[in-house]
Amino acid sequence: MAAALTGAAARLAEAGVESPRVDAELLAAHVLGIGRGRLLLVDTIRAAELHRFEELVARRAARIPVQHLLGTAAFRHLELAVGEGVFVPRPETELLAGWGIEHTAPGATVVDLCSGSGAVALSVADESRAARVVAVERSPAALAFLRRNAAAFPAVEVVEADVTAPGLLRELYGQVDVVLCNPPYVPDGTAVPPEVAEHDPAEAVFGGADGLSVIRPVVALAAALLRPGGVVGVEHDDVHAAAVPALLTADGRFTGVAGHPDLAGRPRFATARRA
């Protein structure tokens, strides 16, 4: 087993995979049906298992996302179903979700815009005592994964809609406690890894020429949805450290605008409180 893992990691490294050893171990654990931490206890691997492992390594070397090969993506305490047509949630978004959870009081109403697989919405439902979590997504492919992932969370309501649509969720205006959003925000034309360019849906990645085409209407929608004292958190590109807080400030309905870095120290999300 050790030799197979070493060879797989070397192949993935040569292919330009960012975390070759981790991905090799994840694929091996998947094939063997065990937790990754138990691989050290495995001395041998059967021929059929080795063949399947090598097939998966070859596909990962072709830069198919490891989450697509596993069929799931880990996010905070959840394992989410993912695949072609839905954005694979990233570890940095766990920080936005965590901020949202910290600001969700028992009985709160939370809205997650651009919900995708449901990573943020379901984490809030899983780790807080929110009474209602509304997850908004427009992509039919993403909605299939969102509904599948949300099935175990009775507090979560899935809404099929475009977050830029005028009057969205009008029945909730002035009643929401927390609004969270991980929108498409990469400026058009930005070079992205093959896993993103070839497998993440472009509509979930790119946000117009400056990356702000979805964030602008989201700021206005959040201001309409939130009750006085309610809070909003919006993830953004690291080039938007000044731009997104400026949009929140310019709206005129928010106070306490702040930027937050990710674990690498890069600007990652902005927050504010409804005046």
Shortest CA distance to 248 belongs to which of 209, 226, 207?
Answer: 226
Measured in whole angstroms, how far is the alpha carbon of residue 83 from the centre of its chain? 13
Integer Cα distance of 275 and 256 in angstroms:
9
Find the catalytic residue in 183, 217, 245, 267: 183
| Annotation marks residue 182 as catalytic | yes
| Annotation marks residue 149 as catalytic | no
CA angle 8, 12, 15 (to 5 degrees): 145
Integer Cα distance of 241 and 12 in angstroms:
33
Measured in whole angstroms, how far is the alpha carbon of residue 222 from the centre of its chain? 19
Find the catalytic residue in 53, 65, 75, 87: 87
Q: Are 154 and 129 in contact (CB under 8 A)?
A: no
76: phi then psi, degrees, rounded to nearest 5: 50, -115
DSSP letter at 89 equals P
| Annotation marks residue 183 as catalytic | yes
Total Cβ atoms within 10 A of residue 53:
22
Per the listing, tokens 């905070």 go with 76
Q: Are 69 and 25 in contact (CB under 8 A)?
A: no
Find the catalytic residue in 65, 153, 182, 206: 182
Bridge partners of 160, per DSSP, are: 137
Q: Say what angle helices 119-127 and 140-150 make with each other, to 10 degrees.
A: 20
Bridge partners of 272, per DSSP, are: 232
Contacts of 92 (CB under 8 A, 6+ apart): 235, 262, 263, 264, 268
Which residues participate in catalysis according to the annotation?
87, 182-183
